[in-house]
Amino acid sequence: MKKFEVVAVGAAVKDIMILHPLVTHNKKKNLLEIPAGGKIPLQEVFVNYGGGAMNVSVGLNNFGVKVAPMIKVGKDLVGKEIYFHLRKEGIDSSLVQTDAYEQTGFSIVIASESDREHVLFTRKGASKKLKIENLSAFSSEWFYLAALDMDDWQSEADKIFRQTKKGSKIYWNPGVRQLNDWKKMLKYLPLTEVLTINRAEAEDLIRNMNPKISRIILANPKTLLVKLKELGAKNVIITQGGRGVIALDAQGVHYYYPAIGDKHKIVDTVGAGDAFGSGFLASFIRWNSFSKSLQMGLRNGSHVLYRIGAQNGLLKIKL
């Protein structure tokens, strides 16, 4: 039986990023604008690999954590590229599934050259067909759950959360589908060791549960953390982009760390959340220190901002 420290569950995609001076960011309307008509020549196109489970797997592997991604790719050239990418990184691919009828997922990122604000068009493809299977063929100390894109994500999530009875721990960074189905999501939170969401998602989740709650209450970081932790997760983390991170651990200790790095040097924000997650979890596994893990998560997340591509700026430190 294979033994892993982490199995990362979620999507795998090929990313194509386009930066162009004719793409402008209208800050008043919060829109990206492109001139209509004609053909726009491209000086450079950036091609990378992404998806929550892929990004986290590469990040954890860089820290020396034994990880395997549980993803699904198509039986196509892009799927073969992803297999090759994992092999090149030295990551176990035994849990990768292949779909003969569905294409590997891909995304197109169009970004303003001036401030790097972007719009991401994504097609999850084979990731929507992922099945949680062969759980008896391996053991894992942790499962990292990224966004689950399957239509019936709940029945697949059930299989993973049942692994907590066998001693596995869950780090959960839920996606849009889970947050939209928040009533279904709630039953899993008491089985979640670490829950990580961003500030907007946290406020929306609490507001959906209690529409009458005051915005003033939600604006208070400590109150927001307490409300989130009351849903059942042992440890809760709220990432806040340029405002850093706030958290509340299992012992009731509050944390705040400001963002690090130079915001003027940011070239790409795609994948920063996944980088935070892999940095935090790798440190938590090695050091069992919540504060050190938050700081490593921030450090890893900040490094991604200075390189184009969700994996290109990830730290490589054997913990």
76-87 as b/e, with b when 16 or more CB fall inside 10 Å?
Answer: bebbeebeebbe
Q: In which residue are the tokens 């699904």 written?
A: 72
Confidence category of residue 143, pLDDT binned at 50, 70, 90: very high
Q: Which of 251, 319, 303, 65 is nearest to 311 (CA)?
A: 303
Query: What is the DSSP track for 162-186?
Result: GGGGGT-EEEE---HHHHHTHHHHG
Q: Which of 225, 227, 201 is nearest to 213 (CA)?
A: 227
| Token pair of 312 as six digits | 């290109």
Tell me what pLDDT residue 200 has: 94
Q: What is the chain's mean pLDDT, rounded?
A: 92
Task: Judge whether 197 and 205 are in contact, CB under 8 Å.
Answer: yes
pTM of the model: 0.93
Total number of residues shown for the chain: 319
Q: pLDDT, tens digit, for every residue of 148-177?
A: 999 899 999 999 999 999 999 999 999 999
Domains and CATH numbers, the chain: 9-29+44-304 (3.40.1190.20)
Tell me what pLDDT residue 28 has: 86
CA separation for the pair 300, 16 (Å, rounded): 22
53 contacts: CB under 8 Å, gap ≥ 6: 8, 9, 10, 11, 12, 69, 70, 71, 144, 146
Angle at 51 between CA 47 and CA 54, to 5 degrees: 95
Q: pLDDT, tens digit, for every residue of 220-252?
A: 999 999 999 999 999 999 999 889 999 999 999
CA separation for the pair 96, 86 (Å, rounded): 10
30 CB burial (10 A radius; 0-12, 13-18, 19+): exposed
Distance (Å) of CA 70 to CA 104, 130, 307: 14, 8, 26
